[in-house]
Amino acid sequence: MENKKPVTLIKIGGNIIDNPTELSQFLSDFSKIEGCKILVHGGGKSATKMAESIGLVPQMIDGRRITDAAMLDVVVMIYAGQINKNIVAQLQANNTNAMGFSGADGNLIQSDKRNHPTINYGFVGDVKKVNTNFLETLLLNGIVPVFCAITHDGKGQLLNTNADTIASELAIALSEVFDVTLNYCFEKPGVLYDAEDDSSVISTINQELYSKLKSEKAIHSGMIPKLDNCFNSLSKGVQKIKIGHHRMLQDKTALYTTITL
C-alpha cells in the first residue's frame, strides 16, 4: 500500500490570537514545521469588542455565538479580514508562503445554515463539504492555507462556523489522501483533571475515560465540543490528535493530551 504524505493541521484558540507575544511565538514555531501544513484560527475577543463599539450586544448560547445579519458583518470583517491577513503577513515574515482563505474562496468549505429545533442561531453554518481536490493542489504546491471561521452555503450566503469543527472536517476530508495529524493549540498544556491546576494534564484520553470525566463534571463547557470533534475525527480516518499549549510543537518536553479511540 502506498504511503500517504503527512499533513499537519493546527487550530489555534482565541487566547493565542488575543496575545500578540504568544501569537508571534506560535507563528514562529508553526513556520518550523516541515512538510504540508494548514492553520485554522478562530476570532478571539476582537469581534466582540468591535460589535460592542458599534452598539451591538453579542449573544452566546452554550458558548456558541448567535449571528444575526449585523453580527455576521462584524465577524466576516474581523475573522476573514483583520485577523486572517495579519496572520498571513506574519507567516510571510517567517518565510512561510501562506494564503488566507474563508470557506467561500475556491469553494473550499461549503456549509448548511444551522437548523435547530428551538434556537435560531442566525447565520451559523454546519460544514457539509470540503473541496479536497483544490486543497490537495495547494498543499502539494507548497502553499500553507490559513482558514478563518467563515464558510458559505453555495448560494451566496456567508456563514459563521465553529473553528474547532472546521479543523475537524478539514482533517477528516484530507485523511482520504494524506496521513493527517490534528493539533488543537490553546492556552492550557492539555486536557486537565483540574481546570485550576496546569500540572494535572491527562496524558491520554479515550472515549471510556472521556465519558467518565464528563459524568463527574471534570470535563465541561467548551472542552466538550472540542473533544467530541476529536473523537469524530479519529472515527473517520484522522491518524493522530493532540491537544495542548503551542509549545508542544517545538518543545519535546512539553506536556500535552493525546486523544485515542
Task: Write out the three cell numbers for 153.
Answer: 452555503
How far apart are alpha carbons 236 and 168 in whole angstroms? 10
Check the annotation: does 160 bind a ligand: yes
Check the annotation: does 237 bind a ligand: no
How far apart are alpha carbons 227 and 191 in whole angstroms? 9
Polymer length in residues for the chain? 261
| Burial status of residue 219 (CB atoms within 10 A of its CB: 0-12, 13-18, 19 or more) | buried
The CB-side HSE value for 35 (13 A sphere, CA atoms) comes to 10
- Which uninterrupted H or E stretch holds 11? strand 5-12
Query: Which residues lie closer than 8 Å to 210 by C-beta, 6 or more apart?
Result: 219, 227, 231
Check the annotation: does 65 bind a ligand: yes
Check the annotation: does 94 bind a ligand: no
Largest Cα–Cα distance in the chain? 58
Q: Which residues are annotated as a binding site for substrate?
A: 43-44, 65, 160
Q: Which residues are annotated as a binding site?
A: 43-44, 65, 160
